[in-house]
Amino acid sequence: MSEPGTLHHVELRVRDLAAAVEDWGWLLGELGYEPFQEWPDGRSWRLGPSYLVVESTPLGGGHDRRMPGLSHLAFHAGTRAEVDRLWQAAPAHGWSQLYSDRHPFAGGEEHYAAFLENAERFKVELVAEG
């Protein structure tokens, strides 16, 4: 039984499912998620009781994290060394490094994290423990 208030799932609509499977699949795999579901227009990955879905959008347009709506997803990403490893590896897997001039303290002096964005402008924050 899951704790009330915990996320059941998050669903992201994407223009390019193949690209999303590559970039999200890599990142989620690195964070411990396992492939969960697969259907012609989508995929999902699960970690514990929660899962993340990427699904082809039936409508045109694009996501812009700076517009009203979802800004980003923040994930616990392990130690500072693990966050640094993901930061370095991310560009080879479809993720751009954000705020490199302030990395790893773009979220503040007490907040060690890496900020990444993929080609569809979905942003993630990888937060170090402690």
pLDDT digits (tens, 9 = 90+) for 25-64: 999 999 999 999 999 999 999 999 999 999 998 888 777 8
How far are the Cα atoms of 10, 75, 85, 123, 127 from residue 110, in angstroms, in the given order? 28, 17, 20, 21, 11
Mean pLDDT over each residue of the chain, to the nearest integer = 93
23, β-bridge pairs = none
| Residue 56: predicted pLDDT | 94
2 is a domain residue: no
pTM for this entry: 0.92
pLDDT band at 111, cuts 50/70/90? very high
> Which contiguous run of DSSP H or E holds residue 73?
strand 72-76
CA 71, 77, 80, 82 torsion: positive or negative? negative
State the pLDDT confidence band at 65, using cuts at 50, 70 and 90.
confident
Q: In terms of C-beta density within 10 A (0-12 exposed, 13-18 middle, 19 or more buried), how is residue 76 classed?
A: exposed
Distance CA 121, CA 42 (A): 18
pLDDT for residue 120: 93
Partners of residue 9 on adjacent β-strands: 51
- 17-30 helix and 80-89 helix, angle to the nearest 10 degrees: 160
Answer yes or no: is 36 within a domain. yes
| 12 and 53 in a common domain | yes
Residue after which a domain boundary falls, among 58, 81, 101: 58
Mean pLDDT in residue range 107-119? 95
Q: What is the mean pLDDT of residues 87-93?
A: 98
pLDDT > 80? residue 122: yes
The pLDDT > 70 percentage for the chain reads: 99
Residue 18 falls within a domain, yes or no? yes
Residue 72 inside a domain? The answer is yes
Q: Which domain holds residue 38?
A: 7-58
Q: What is the mean pLDDT of residues 92-98?
A: 98
Give the HSE-up count for residue 67: Cα atoms under 13 Å, Cβ half-sphere: 6
Q: What is the pLDDT of residue 1?
A: 65
